[in-house]
Structures are given as structure tokens and as C-alpha cells.
Amino acid sequence: MGIDAKSVKELREKTGLPMMECKQALEKADGDISLAIDELRKSGAKAEAKLAGRKAEQGLIGSYVADDGKLGALVSVCCETEPVANNEDFQKFVQDLVAVIGAAKPADRDALLETPMPGGGSVKDGVTELINRLRENISIGGFSLIEADAVVQYVHFDNRKAGMVGLAGGSAADEAVGTLGKDLGMHIVFSVPQCLSRDKLDPQIVAKEKEIRLAAAQNDEKNANKPEEILEKIVEGQINKFIAEQCFLEQEFIRDDQKRSVQDSVEASGTGVTVTDYCYIATDAGGEEASEAETETAEE
């Protein structure tokens, strides 16, 4: 059957896909726009499978904080090239997605992919349609939710990495709390802590590090005449420093001229807050995402 230009135009406005693809989909669907949209989604799924192996190391961070400042969400959405990251459709999807995360509070990645999007369909459908439209490998890299008395975010100027903190005992509306929170977020982006405090650090990581350092000390000719207990004390000091470098609250705060730890700087801030949670999100596939919150990392 002949397909009229009005139907092609309507389908193009609904999907944002090229005229020719819309026309072909309508021809397969005998002019039925709903069926044509299904055809285009199938086409998008094929494109998604075809592009899945390509590296997606560009992208954007989506950020959301509730009006009361007590809930925050961050998500990374990855793509292949900077032009796609700057595309209006891509940027709108990222912002819609992070708002959906803040509202729906999905428990994990699988739940997120099944969460409905504002324009219809699931998050998974939205990713597929975006791939079909932009013809690049696009994936959700990771997301995090934090709820606290005050949630504050810092998104780096490149929009490709961000830090978020949860604070107890204060309000995000308090300018001093907001400033402190942003500085803490900046610290997270530049220092990428592995855990909030030493009691949260994986004991296996510590044990492995101690084993390596003790073996190095024992094999060092300078220590040939030192008793084992002395070597143990030397390594113990090294391990204590290693742990401090991994833990957010013990790291030297990058915004403190007095070179105090994050914990000491927060206590000296006069805000009366304590740090209860944090997360780090980045779009680059090589970067690690660290969090005390429920954070899903990229599987692609």
C-alpha cells in the first residue's frame, strides 16, 4: 500500500528517526503507526546487539537532588563519541533517567532497566531507541542513590565524573553545609576513596597488602639483621598509612590548608554535620566507581 507523507512525518516526530526508515517501517506495518513503532524498536534491538562490542568511553553524568535536599541520585550514561554526548536527545535521556531513579529508587540495575520512562516504555526500551536513533553503543554505566539529612553533589566541569555525600545533622539549604558538601564531593572526584571508614575496608585487601609489604621488608638486605618483631612494626606503620589513604574520612582533605583529614576538617567546619555516606560515579570505562551507597557498576 502507498504510505502518505503525513504518516511518515508523524512517525518521524514520534521517534526522531530518518524519513526513509520511518517510511520502510510503515510499509511493513501496512501504515499502522503503532505497529511501525514496534518495527523500529525491533530494528533498534538489532542495532544494539551489533554495536554492543564497541567501546563506550564518552558520556555524561546525570544528577538529581530532591527539593528538600534529602535524597540525591547520580547516573553515568556512556556513549562512544563526544558529539553524541553533546546531542540534545542524549542529554534529555540522561536527565530524564536520573529523575526516574530519584523517584522510583530502583534496588539494582535489573530493576532500573524495567522502570518506566516518562515518555512510555521502560528504561531498557529508552536505551534501545536511543541507540537506534544515534547509531552508537550506549549503556548505563552505573548509578547511586543516597538519602540523608542533607545530600550534596559535585559534578566536575567535564560532566563525566561526580561525587555525592550524605550528611547527618544539617540541611542542604544551609549555605555552609552546601559549601562543605560540594568541597567533599570535589575531594571524592579527585581522590576516589575506596570506602567511608577503615571498618568498611575489605580485610582481604589489607591482609594481601600486609603480606606483600612484609615479604618486601624481609627480602631487603638493609633489614637482614633486624628482628622479625621490628619488621612487623615497620610494616604495621606502612599498613596504617595505606588504610588511611583508602578511607574517605581519613584521607587528607584537598580543601584544607592545614592538611587535616576529612573527618577532622568536617568537625572543624562548625556545621555540626557528620558524613554518613558517599559515592563516586564516572563515565570512563577504565575508572572505578566507589561508594558506601547502593551503586551499580557497568557490566558492558
Residue 13 has a pLDDT of: 65
Mean pLDDT of all residues in 87-97: 95
Q: In angstroms, what CA-CA distances link 236 with 62, 189, 200?
A: 41, 29, 19
H or E stretch at 162: strand 161-168
Kindly report the CATH class assigned to 5-51: mainly alpha
Residue 297 has a pLDDT of: 38
Mean pLDDT of all residues in 86-109: 95
Q: What are the extents of the domains in the chain?
A: 5-51, 58-185+269-296, 202-246
Best CA proximity match to 153, nearest among 75, 64, 252: 64
Best CA proximity match to 109, nearest among 91, 95, 124: 124
pLDDT per residue as tens digits for the range 235-274:
888 888 999 999 999 999 999 999 999 999 999 999 999 9
CATH fourth-level superfamily of 58-185+269-296: Elongation factor Ts, dimerisation domain (3.30.479.20)
CA 179-164-82 angle, to 5 degrees, is 105
Residue 44 has a pLDDT of: 57
Q: In angstroms, what CA-CA distances link 61 with 26, 90, 151, 163, 166?
A: 36, 11, 17, 10, 18
Give the strand order in the sheet containing 161-168: 150-155, 161-168, 274-282
8 A C-beta contact, residue 137 and residue 59: no
Residue 16 has a pLDDT of: 62
pLDDT per residue as tens digits for the range 19-33:
667 677 777 777 777
pLDDT per residue as tens digits for the range 144-170:
999 999 999 999 999 999 999 999 999
Place of cell 560540594: 182
pLDDT at residue 140 greater than cutoff 90: yes
Residue 175 has a pLDDT of: 96
132-136, 273-277, 292-296 — most confident range: 273-277
8 A C-beta contact, residue 160 and residue 150: no
Amino acid (1-letter code) at residue 88: E
Q: Name the least confident of 48-52, 147-151, 202-206.
A: 48-52
pLDDT at residue 184 greater than cutoff 50: yes
How far apart are alpha carbons 66 and 103 in whole angstroms?
9
